[in-house]
Amino acid sequence: MVCSLGVAMFASLLLLTYILHARFFFVDVVFYSALQDVLVAAVFSGVLLYIMPLFRAIEKTEQILLCIIWLLGGYAFAISVPTVLDRSLSFYLLEKLDQRGGGIKHAALEGVIVDEFMHEYRVLDARLTEQLESGTIVIEDGCVRLTVKGKRVAWLSAAFRAHLLPKHRQLLGEYSADLTTPLLRSSDDVDYKCR
C-alpha cells in the first residue's frame, strides 16, 4: 500500500514537472526535456521518500526498487506520450482526418503528408534540431554532414532494420519486407550530395 502511494506521488510530481516545463520553459528536444522532467520528479520523490514518516516503513531495498520503478515508468512515459505525440504521423493522420470532417480521399493522402504534415509539424526543423542536439550531425557550408557518432548510429539503425525488423509486415493488405531495406530502392542519380 505504501509503495503504491510512492508510485502515485512520483506520477503526480512527474506530470506537474512535465506540465510546468512544457508550458513555461524553453525546450530544445521534447524527448530530452521529458527525460529531464523524469529525473527532477525522481529526485523530489526520493527526497520525500527519505523525509516523510509514512515511507519509513519501507525497507531500503524496497526504496531502491521503488526508485528504479519510478525511473523505468518515467522513461516509458517520456518516450510513449510526449515523444510519440510530437512526431507521430499516425496521430497526425487521425487529427487531420478529424480536421477535414472525418474523411480524406485516399489518393490525396500522399499530398497531405508532403504538403501539409511536413509544413505544419515543421518535421525537417524538428528532426535537424534533434540530431544537432544529439551530436549526430553538423551543418556547415550549407551541407548537413554526419559526425562519427552519426555514422555509428546510422550503421546500427540500418543493421537493426535489415536484420531485426519483421520480414513479413503488412502494408495495406500485402505482406512485405520492403521496410527492412527501404534505401535499396533509392536512386543514386541525385544532384544534392555534398562533396
Over residues 141-181, the pLDDT tens digits come to: 999 999 999 999 999 999 999 999 899 999 999 999 998 98
State the Cα–Cα distance between residues 44 and 17, nearest whole angstrom: 10
Contact predicate 136/155, CB 8 Å: no
Same domain, yes or no: 183 and 154: yes
Same domain, yes or no: 95 and 76: no
Q: What is the total count of domains within the chain?
A: 3
Same domain, yes or no: 19 and 44: yes
**Predicted pLDDT at 2:** 78
Reported as a single tens digit per residue, the pLDDT across 72-116 is 999 999 999 999 999 899 999 999 999 999 999 999 999 999 999
Count the neighbouring beta carbons within 10 Å of the beta carbon of residue 147. Answer: 15
Same domain, yes or no: 15 and 73: yes
For the cut 80, the answer to whether the pLDDT of residue 1 exceeds it is no
Domain boundary among 53, 86, 119: 86
Amino acid at 76: A
Residue 134 C-alpha cell reads as 544529439
Same domain, yes or no: 78 and 93: no
**Predicted pLDDT at 56:** 82
Same domain, yes or no: 73 and 145: no
Same domain, yes or no: 82 and 7: yes
Structural domain contains residue 67: yes
**Predicted pLDDT at 195:** 77
Structural domain contains residue 39: yes
**Predicted pLDDT at 111:** 94
The residue range of the domain holding 157 is 135-187
Structural domain contains residue 146: yes
Q: What is the pTM of this model?
A: 0.81
Mean residue pLDDT across the chain: 93
**Predicted pLDDT at 57:** 83
Structural domain contains residue 118: yes
Domain boundary among 131, 146, 165: 131
Same domain, yes or no: 109 and 81: no
